[in-house]
């Protein structure tokens, strides 16, 4: 019996070296890309991702260096602690870790115990006793069962579970990066809404004073009623802008509160949109392998790896499997003799199971997994291409938004001077109110455009941070 048991173990060890199914090869994409970034142009040749970069994106999370507003950084910390989407993603990571542990355990024997005490009613006890039949049974066994991984089904499943765990972990990291970027963007939009509200209130105050002066001039007969009506119209337009800006403040605040896992309420304020010390200059020498650190790319590749391993699982199912079961313990018809050496019991069973003919079901199962793997391969390549596009768009936005803001800033300076000069000319009687009205309206729009442009310039930096996987290496 012992020789048979040892032979089975030795045979199992020899055959576990067999591993059917494909070996994963990382897709190679030809992407000769020149990133647009002004003087900072990055050229990326053939994209071959390195698995050693799986967790490197963590080292690039430099948001505390990118955002200098202490209120914003505290807000981001709150979001990263309380956001329900992130907590859900983290829970999925722990779930995937547990599933991997289950797959890993399947490779090893399972040990247990079996303790039994029973009574059987066999009718006439005297007759049964005379026939040597006992109606009581007692046994206690240590049990072992082991599915020998002959062709790698369990090893493929273990690798698939590990890759799925890494994919889930990087998906959680992608959620983290997105939340940082979304929080910063909403915060800048909130500060822009605050700025617009102040512009609207300031304009209401200015136009109220203008209407008072024009009404007095109309009463004195210096101007027509048309000037007064036009002044009233301009004041009404400014008054309408106040609740519009207030509505934007409230909705943006509530969006931030949802991110932090809180009910509607106030959001603290820090620096204005003009005082944000963001790195508007594109960092020089962005490494060409930075996209390898993007968690969404890593997650897409690990999902592809996991699915590739499933081909090995289904391929191994076409071959026979061996299961070993055994027990060692004591069995006795009497509880008093249960630990007697004569009651020692040992058993080993080997089971060989395999398919013979199933009308192509196993073959089709492998083919289905191969086609499923092709789909993940295409999605992986799409993820990489989208990443290149996002980086290029973000680099261009940082550079072009800066130019756009400079233009709007100059337009605001010109509009301010034109309004002051036209106002003086109007009150001195050198021009009509229509010209003043036009300049007043131009100034109002210029102030709004300049504020929005400054905000978009700040958000462009946020988008670059996100596109590069959560930061960049400072040079």
Residue 1 placed within a domain: no
What are the tens digits of pLDDT across the range 16-52?
557 787 888 888 776 555 566 544 444 443 344 443 3
pLDDT for the residue 36: 60
Residue 350 placed within a domain: no
Residue linked to tokens 């579970």: 161
pLDDT for the residue 190: 96
Please, which pLDDT band fits residue 343 given cuts at 50, 70 and 90? low
Q: Please, what is the angle between helix 153-219 and helix 295-316, to 10°?
A: 150
Residue 462 placed within a domain: yes
Is the pLDDT score of 9 beyond 60?
no
Residue 103 placed within a domain: yes
Rounded CA gap, 293 and 281, in Å? 22
What are the tens digits of pLDDT across the range 209-267?
989 988 988 888 888 889 899 999 999 999 999 999 999 999 999 999 999 998 999 99
CATH of the domain at 261: 1.20.1600.10
Please, which pLDDT band fits residue 320 given cuts at 50, 70 and 90? confident
Residue 78 placed within a domain: yes
**Bridge partners, 353 (sequence order):** 321
Rounded CA gap, 293 and 291, in Å? 5
Domain containing 227 equals 22-107+151-319+361-467
Number of domains in the chain: 1
What average pLDDT does range 159-180 have in this prediction? 92
Residue 460 placed within a domain: yes
How far is it between the farthest Cα atoms of the chain? Answer: 137
Rounded CA gap, 104 and 35, in Å? 43
SS3 category, 137: strand
Residue 90 placed within a domain: yes
Q: Which of these, 436, 438, 416, 410, lies nearest to 425 by C-alpha position? A: 436
Residue 100 placed within a domain: yes
Torsion sign, CA atoms 200, 206, 212, 214: negative
């Amino acid at each position: 019996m012992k020789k048979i048991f040892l032979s089975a173990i030795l045979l199992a060890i020899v055959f576990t070296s067999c591993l059917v199914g494909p070996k994963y090869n990382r897709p190679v994409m030809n992407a000769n890309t020149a990133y647009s970034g002004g003087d900072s142009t990055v050229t990326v040749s053939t994209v071959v991702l390195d698995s050693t970069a799986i967790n490197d994106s963590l080292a690039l999370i430099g948001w505390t260096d990118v955002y200098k507003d202490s209120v914003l950084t505290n807000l981001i910390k709150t979001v990263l602690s309380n956001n329900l989407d992130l907590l859900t993603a983290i829970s999925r990571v722990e779930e995937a870790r547990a599933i991997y542990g289950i797959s890993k355990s399947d490779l090893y024997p399972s040990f247990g115990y079996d303790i039994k005490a029973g009574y059987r009613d066999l009718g006439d006890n005297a007759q049964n006793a005379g026939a040597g039949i006992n109606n009581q049974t007692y046994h206690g066994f240590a049990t072992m069962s082991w599915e020998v991984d002959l062709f790698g089904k369990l090893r493929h499943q273990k690798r698939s579970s590990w890759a799925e765990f890494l994919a889930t972990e990087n998906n959680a990291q992608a959620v983290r990066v997105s939340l940082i970027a979304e929080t910063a963007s909403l915060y800048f939009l909130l500060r822009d809404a605050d700025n617009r509200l102040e512009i609207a209130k300031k304009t209401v105050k200015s136009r109220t004073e203008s209407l008072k002066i024009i009404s007095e001039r109309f009463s004195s007969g210096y101007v027509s009623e048309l000037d007064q009506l036009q002044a009233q119209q301009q004041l009404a337009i400014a008054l309408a802008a106040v609740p519009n800006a207030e509505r934007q403040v409230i909705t943006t605040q509530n969006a931030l509160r949802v991110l932090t896992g809180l009910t509607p309420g106030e959001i603290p304020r820090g620096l204005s949109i003009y005082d944000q010390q963001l790195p508007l200059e594109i960092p020089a020498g962005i490494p060409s392998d930075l996209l390898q650190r993007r968690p969404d790319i890593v997650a897409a590749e690990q999902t592809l790896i996991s699915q590739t391993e499933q081909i090995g699982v289904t391929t191994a199912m076409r071959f026979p499997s061996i299961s070993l079961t055994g027990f060692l313990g004591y069995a006795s018809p009497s509880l008093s003799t249960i630990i007697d050496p004569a009651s020692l019991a040992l058993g080993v069973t080997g089971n060989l199971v395999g398919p013979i003919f199933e009308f192509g079901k196993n073959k089709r199962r492998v083919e289905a997994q191969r086609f499923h793997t092709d789909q993940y391969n295409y999605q992986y390549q799409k993820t990489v291409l989208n990443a290149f596009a996002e980086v290029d768009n973000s680099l261009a936005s940082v550079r072009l938004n800066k130019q756009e803001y400079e233009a709007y800033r100059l337009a605001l300076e010109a509009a301010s001077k034109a309004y002051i000069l036209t106002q003086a000319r109007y009150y001195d009687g050198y021009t009509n109110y229509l010209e003043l009205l036009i300049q007043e309206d131009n100034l109002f729009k210029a102030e709004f455009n300049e504020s929005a442009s400054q905000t978009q310039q700040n958000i462009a930096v946020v988008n670059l941070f996100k596109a590069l996987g959560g930061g960049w290496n400072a040079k």
